[in-house]
Structure 1
Amino acid sequence: MSRHRAPRDRRRRARNLRAVLAGGIVFGVGATATMAAWNDSEVATGSFAASVFDTESQSAGSPTYASRPTAPGATLSFAATGMSPGVSHYAWLNVRTTTATTVAGDVSLTGVTNNSGGLVAALEYRAVRMTAPNPTATCAAAAFTGTPAYIAGGASSWLPVTSVPGTPVASPVAAAGGAIGLCFEVRVVNGAANSYQGQSATVTWQFTAASSN
């Protein structure tokens, strides 16, 4: 009996070994099939640069264009050392963008600061945007005739020198040296009290410039 069982056992172990080897081969084929796929990537780069917006001013009393962001700023030459009620005095101001400015914008009268002197309370004004910068255009009574572009006051209305329009009036200014001319008219109010005689005043107007894009 034992002689017959031994060959059968050997044949059984051989079958089991072949089964294990077959399983290993299957597993090996499966591992090879999970190899990573081909891959690649793309990269994109953008370049950016900010625009430039810068302004400068000029007046008869400050004839050289320069940046004047703080008081006293440009000197307005009113020639108003002997003012009387109802008599107007005029002064011009040019505002332009610098040659390095790359975008257009707007200039608006937005504030009055540094008012001083006893005559301040008796002064009133109005202002217009001229058809061209000075001295090409002349800042005088003629600038307020017809239908000028008022930036403060109006044809029949004046503002105290201590105030500005509630809604600023924007004046367009072009890029790269674009200039606008402004003309101020100031007078002592009609009917001013005699107590204002001999008094003086200093008034500083503030403009705000903003790029349009």
Structure 2
Amino acid sequence: MATKATQRKVLAVLAGGLVLGVGTAVTLAAWNDSEFANGTFTAGAFNLQGSTDGTAYADHNSAGSAATLAFTLPAGLVGNMSPTSSVYAGFWVRLAAGTTSGANLVADGTTADAAATSNSDHLSYSIYQLAPGATCDAASATGTPVATGTTLDLQTGVTTVPLTAGATSTDPGTAVQLCFKVTADAVLEPSLVTNATWKFTATSTN
């Protein structure tokens, strides 16, 4: 017959076995899955062109490749400029075929020959947006100008000109004619030749 001491030992062993059983665990496999996505990004095309006759368009994207405007005196006047006379020249702008966004055009500065050797300080200018089909002359150069300058090397009063892209990728945008009016003051100096260059910048609207 087991003594009480032996029973305590057996119970202790059984208790120890139970404790070992508690430490047993089952490990389950982890499941995972992934999804991926990619995108392709193509930039639109954008190109501004100009024309001195509304027919032949080209890029004039630097001062060195500027289009030469053909200024004319009003009917009845011949020869070169004289004090208080005005001359006029048209310049057409449009977005080239393949351009994918409309744009806003602004006059973006002007440069002219130095006043010490030219009439740049004695010539002012105004630039007007004309209605389709209008002729650039004294009758049409009215209203709110796109830009003005009290001398050929100054610019004030800038107004935005909206340009539309072509209906398809092979169509150019609608052309807009700008009319330049240059006016001599009363003290225009004789025999001097003066060159001026205007810059226009178009910014896409999309």
TM-score by length of 2: 0.78
Deviations 1:70-115 (A, max 9, x none): 1141111114661112222111111111222111111111211143
Amino acid at match of 2:150: L
Provide the residue aligned with 2:59 in structure 1.
67
> Quick check: 1:192 aligned with 2:187?
yes
Please give the per-residue CA displacement for 1:151-206, whole angstroms capped at 9, x wherever unaligned: 134xxxx73222111x42110011233221101011322x225xx11111111111
SS of match in other structure, 1:125: strand
**Following TM superposition, by how much is the alpha carbon of 1:40 offset from its aligned partner in structure 2, in angstroms?**
4.0
CA distance in 2, matches of 1:128, 1:163: 16
Partner residue in 2 for 1:160 = 151
Q: What percent of counterpart residues are identical?
A: 31
In structure 1, the residue corresponding to 2:111 is in which secondary structure? strand
Query: Which residue of 2 is the match for residue 22 of structure 1?
Result: 18
Q: Name which of 138, 141, 159 aligns with 2:138.
A: 141
Unaligned segments of structure 2, at least 5 residues: 74-78, 167-171
What residue number does 1:82 align with? Answer: 80
In structure 2, C-alpha distance between the alignment counterparts of 1:37 and 1:4, rounded to whole Å: 51
Bigger CA radius of gyration: 1
**1:203: which partner in 2?**
196
1:143 partner amino acid: S
- The structure-2 alpha-carbon separation of the partners of 1:20 and 1:4, relative to structure 1 and needing over 3 Å to count, comes to closer
Question: 1:35, CA displacement in angstroms?
Answer: 3.8
**Which 5+ residue runs of structure 1 have no aligned equivalent?**
none
Bigger helix share:
1
User: Is the contact between residue 120 and residue 200 of structure 1 (CA under 8 Å) also seen in structure 2?
Assistant: no
Matches within 5 A, 1:111-126: 111-116=109-114, 117-126=117-126
Counting matched residue pairs gives 192
Q: Which stretch shifts more, 177-186 or 63-72?
A: 63-72
CA drift of 1:42 comes to: 4.1
CA RMSD of aligned residues (A): 2.9
* SS of residue paired to 1:19: helix
